[in-house]
Structure 1
Amino acid sequence: MSEKTTSYYVPDSSPWPLLGSVGLFLIAIGGGNYIQQSTSKVANDGSMGGIILAIGVLWMIGVMFMWWRDTIKESIGGLHSDQMDRSYRQGMLWFIFSEVMFFGAFFGAMFYARWLIVPWLGGEGIGAMTHELLWPDFQAMWPVTTAPDGRTTQAMGAWGLPMINTAILLTSSVTLSIAHHALIAGDRAKVLWAQGATIILALIFTGVQAYEYVHAYRDLGLTLESGIYGSLFFLMTGFHGIHVVIGSLFLIVTFFRVLKRHHMDGNNFAWEAAAWYWHFVDVVWLFLFITVYWL
Structure 2
Amino acid sequence: MVTNVQQHPYHLVDASPWPMFMGLSSLFLTTGFVLYMHGYNIGGTFALVGLLAVLLTLFLWWRDVVREATFEGKHTSAVQQGLKYGMILFISSEVMFFVAFFWAFFSVSLSPTVEIGCTWPPYNMPVINTWTVPFLNTLILVTSGATLTWSHHAMREGNRKDSILGLVLTIVLAAVFTGFQAMEYIHAPFTMSDGIYGSVFYMATGFHGFHVIIGTLFLTVCLYRHIKYHFTREHHLGFEFAAWYWHFVDVVWLFLFVSIYWWGNS
TM bucket, shorter chain: 0.7 to 0.9
Q: CA deviation at 1:161?
A: 1.1
SS in 2 for 1:144: coil
- Superposed, 1:271-290 pairs within 5 Å as 271-290=239-258
Residue correspondence of structure 1 range 187-202 to structure 2 within 5 A: 187-202=159-174
Match of 1:206 among 178, 191, 212: 178
Does 1:224 pair with 2:192?
A: yes
Note if contact 1:6-1:81 (Cα within 8 Å) is conserved in structure 2.
Answer: no
- Contact kept, 8 Å, 2:147 with 2:170, in 1: the verdict is yes
Residue 15 of structure 1 corresponds to 17
Q: 1:27/1:280 Cα in 2 relative to 1: closer, same or farther (>3 Å)?
A: farther
The answer to whether 1:110 aligns with 2:112 is no
Aligned residue number for residue 134 of structure 2: 162
Residues 6 and 82 in structure 1, CA contact (< 8 A), matched pair in contact too:
no
2:218 pairs with 1:241: no
Compared CA separation, residues 229 and 22, structure 1 to 2 (3 A): farther
What residue is the counterpart of 1:140 in the other structure?
Answer: 118
Where 1:110 maps in the other structure, the secondary structure is helix
Going from structure 1 to structure 2, the CA distance change for 1:242 and 1:82 (only over 3 Å counts) comes to: same
Identical aligned residues as a percent? 42
Matches of 2:173 and 2:95, distance apart in 1: 23
Which ranges of structure 1 fall in alignment gaps of 5 or more residues?
A: 38-44, 123-134, 147-152
CA distance in 2, matches of 1:155, 1:30: 35
Counterparts of 2:42 and 2:255, CA distance in 1: 35
Distance 2:187 2:43 in 1: 24
1:40 is aligned to none
Question: Where in structure 2 are there 5+ consecutive unaligned residues?
Answer: 1-6
SS of equivalent residue, structure 1 residue 113 = helix
Conserved? CA contact 1:145–1:226, under 8 Å = no
Distance 1:207 1:251, change over 3 A: same
Measure, in 1, the Cα distance between the counterparts of 2:218 and 2:156: 19
1:111-126 paired onto structure 2 within 5 Å: 111-116=106-111, 118=112, 121-122=113-114
1:145 and 1:233, CA in 2 relative to 1: closer, same or farther beyond 3 A?
A: farther
Structure 1 residue 55, shift from structure 2 partner:
4.5
**Map of 2:57 onto structure 1:** 63
**RMSD, aligned α-carbons:** 2.3
Q: CA deviation at 1:61?
A: 2.6
Residue equivalent to 2:4: none
Aligned partner letter, 1:14: S
Q: Tell me, what secondary structure is at the counterpart of 1:12?
A: coil
Aligned in 2, Cα 1:197/1:91: closer, same or farther, shift over 3 Å?
same
Indicate the residue corresponding to 1:174 in structure 2. 146
Residues 192 and 255 in structure 1, CA contact (< 8 A), matched pair in contact too: yes
Name the TM-score, length of structure 1 as normaliser. Answer: 0.79
The CA distance in 2 between the partners of 1:165 and 1:272, in whole Å, is 24
CA contact (8 A) 1:188 1:264 kept: no
Aligned residues: 256
CA contact (8 A) 1:32 1:49 kept: yes
* Amino acid of the structure 2 residue aligned with 1:87: G
CA shift digits 1:152-181 (9 cap, x unpaired): x42222111111111110010010000010
* Cα distance in structure 2, aligned partners of 1:181 and 1:263: 13
* 2:77 is equivalent to residue 82 of structure 1: yes
With normalisation by structure 2, the TM-score equals 0.87
Shifted more, 85-94 versus 15-24: the winner is: 15-24
